[in-house]
């Protein structure tokens, strides 16, 4: 038995499995009790209502819609291809596509209503778990952070900090606009984490990702 190889397999599987298990546990909790304890009150306190901040957060939400993220992803992938890193580009785009396709399916499956704390735009889907903005932005930002951090001479802490700030701002916008519960946001992050961990594990076995 090749124990080092087996150990690598288990380590590779641990990340995605942990994220999937956490997502499943959160989905079960939401199915049993909706909203979760304290969530409704927290959302009511965070909603900005009719104030100047509403336009600011609405702008953040618009910038993190799916279409802008698709454009950013395509531009980034083309840049990677020009550098000869087509495997990384394919892995990044594949990860994004999986999240973009799976998230709506999970929403339909869980069918969790959005918070009833403010009037919501008509173009939004009626379901909220997981948050599409959280999942979609997390997979794009996460893929970018993984790629940038793999470059020699790049400060990983800087890329991680910028990525974390971006995700927090996107999440805050969704909460401030009353479109999601905090657990919706966390679920979106977990979905993106599971997909990215799988892709990263596969790409580490190639020279293209080193």
What pLDDT is recorded for position 38?
A: 92
Residue 110's pLDDT band, with cuts at 50, 70 and 90, is very high
Higher pLDDT: 206 or 15? It is 15
CA 53 to chain CA centroid, nearest Å: 24
pLDDT exceeds 70 at position 134: yes
pLDDT in tens, 35-46: 999 999 999 999
Q: What is the mean pLDDT of residues 92-112?
A: 94
What pLDDT is recorded for position 65?
A: 95
Please report, rounded to a whole number, the percentage of residues in the chain having pLDDT higher than 90.
63
Instruction: Classify residue 37 by its DSSP letter.
Output: T
What whole-number distance in Å separates Cα of residue 184 and Cα of residue 174?
Answer: 10
What pLDDT is recorded for position 8?
A: 52
Residue position matching structure tokens 């288990």: 10
pTM of the shown model? 0.89
pLDDT in tens, 144-156: 988 887 776 567 7
Instruction: Classify residue 179 by its DSSP letter.
Output: -
What whole-number distance in Å separates Cα of residue 126 and Cα of residue 118?
Answer: 14
What pLDDT is recorded for position 210?
A: 46
Higher pLDDT: 149 or 4? It is 149
Instruction: Classify residue 204 by its DSSP letter.
Output: T
């Amino acid at each position: 038995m090749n124990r080092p190889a087996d150990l690598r397999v288990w380590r590779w599987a641990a990340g995605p499995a942990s994220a999937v298990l956490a997502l499943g546990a959160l989905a079960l909790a939401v199915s049993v009790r909706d909203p979760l304890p304290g969530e409704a009150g927290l959302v009511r306190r965070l909603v900005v209502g009719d104030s100047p901040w509403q336009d600011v957060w609405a702008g953040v939400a618009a910038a993190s819609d799916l279409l802008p993220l698709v454009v950013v992803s395509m531009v980034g992938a083309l840049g990677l291809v020009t550098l000869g890193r087509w495997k990384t580009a394919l892995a990044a785009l594949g990860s994004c596509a999986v999240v973009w396709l799976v998230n709506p399916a999970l929403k339909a499956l869980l069918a969790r209503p959005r918070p009833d704390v403010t009037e919501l735009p008509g173009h939004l889907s009626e379901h909220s778990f997981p948050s599409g903005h959280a999942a979609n932005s997390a997979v794009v930002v996460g893929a970018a952070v993984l790629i940038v951090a793999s470059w020699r001479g790049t400060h990983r802490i800087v890329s991680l900090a910028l990525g974390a700030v971006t995700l927090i701002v996107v999440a805050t916008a969704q909460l401030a606009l009353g479109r999601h519960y905090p657990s919706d946001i966390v679920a979106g992050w977990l979905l993106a984490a599971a997909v990215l961990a799988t892709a990263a594990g596969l790409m580490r076995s190639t020279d293209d990702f080193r």
